Amino acid sequence: MTSQLHEASQPLLEVRGATVNIDGRDILRDVNFSINHGEFTGLIGSNGAGKTTLFRVILGLQRQVTGSVLVHGEPITRANRSIGYVPQKVLFDPDLPIRARDLVALGADGHRYGLSRRPRALHAAVDEMLDAVDAGSFADRRVGGLSGGEQQRVLVAHALISRPELLLLDEPLANLDPGSVEEIIALLHRVSQRQRVAILLSAHEMNPLLPVMDRVVYVANGHVASGTTDEVVRPSVLSALYGHHVDVLRVHGRVLVVATALPVGPAPSDQHPEFVVE
């Protein structure tokens, strides 16, 4: 009943007026958006736009100069059990002697010191999470020997076993083949719906996410625009975000964001003035 009241009364996550400065440079400026329970949100922006920095702010690992981050209306703290996280570019040694099921179990008891016998309930929970991400068939294989898509499934199960209400995924589609991209997106959408987990997934390409996104948080030039895809991915909104004219083309169900003009004022070194974002 308490969680139902939370869902009805306020957003799960709120970022209010957050500005982040690193080494004298504003990486993010006056960021505002919210995520509701069970929503699938795409965090879209080019490489270097500040997506990972925003994740670090939400996780309580990066302090903001101004603003606040709230979960259930309360200030965020480190190791918040309401938030799960799948980092970018996790590299596993092929010879690492850890099975997929062992890695998932560490998501529940990795904070404990020493060796102890895992309770039967944990074994059941591990099997449940592996089944939820369709990873049961390779549960006893070494993680380092799995394909990229299989490793992503295991990492998602690892994050889910602590029963978070919000799951952050940092570029989980990078370096996956198109077939694996479709499988992972469908998997995450199913998990979000069945387990009532809100998802914030960062990517530089939005098109694979269009069928499942409830809303988009678009990051460019240190600023953020949020809302539904139709509300945000428009020439007027993105032109204001980038500080120069942007065209939005819709072709055969795909969205192309195209800009060729130089931005107004100095642009960060990692933001290219000529680009196409799909």
The domain of 52 spans 2-82+164-277
Q: Count the domains in the chain.
A: 1
Residue 258's CATH number: 3.40.50.300
Predicted local confidence at residue 262, as pLDDT: 47
Tokens of 42: 């795409």
Calpha distance 31→219 (Å, rounded) = 9
In-domain check, residue 125: no
Predicted local confidence at residue 260, as pLDDT: 61
| Segment 262-276, tens digit of pLDDT | 444 444 444 433 344
Predicted local confidence at residue 154, as pLDDT: 94
DSSP output for 159-210: HHTT--SEEEEESTTTT--HHHHHHHHHHHHHHHHHHT-EEEEEES--GGGT
In-domain check, residue 261: yes
CA atoms within 13 A on the CB side of 87: 7
In-domain check, residue 100: no
In-domain check, residue 107: no
| Segment 59-69, tens digit of pLDDT | 999 999 999 99
In-domain check, residue 148: no
pLDDT by residue for the chain (278 residues), tens only, comes to 444 544 556 899 999 999 999 999 999 999 999 999 999 999 999 888 999 999 999 999 999 999 999 999 999 887 788 999 999 878 888 888 899 999 999 988 544 433 445 567 788 999 999 999 999 999 999 999 999 889 999 999 999 999 999 999 999 998 888 888 999 999 999 999 988 999 999 999 999 999 999 999 999 999 999 999 999 999 999 999 988 899 999 988 899 888 765 444 444 444 433 344 44
Predicted local confidence at residue 109, as pLDDT: 57
Spatial neighbors of 276 by CB under 8 A, at least 6 apart, are 256, 257, 258
Assess contact for 30 and 67: CB atoms under 8 A. yes
CA angle 36, 75, 156 (to 5 degrees): 50
Predicted local confidence at residue 17, as pLDDT: 96
What is the residue whose two structure tokens read 């040694």? Answer: 93
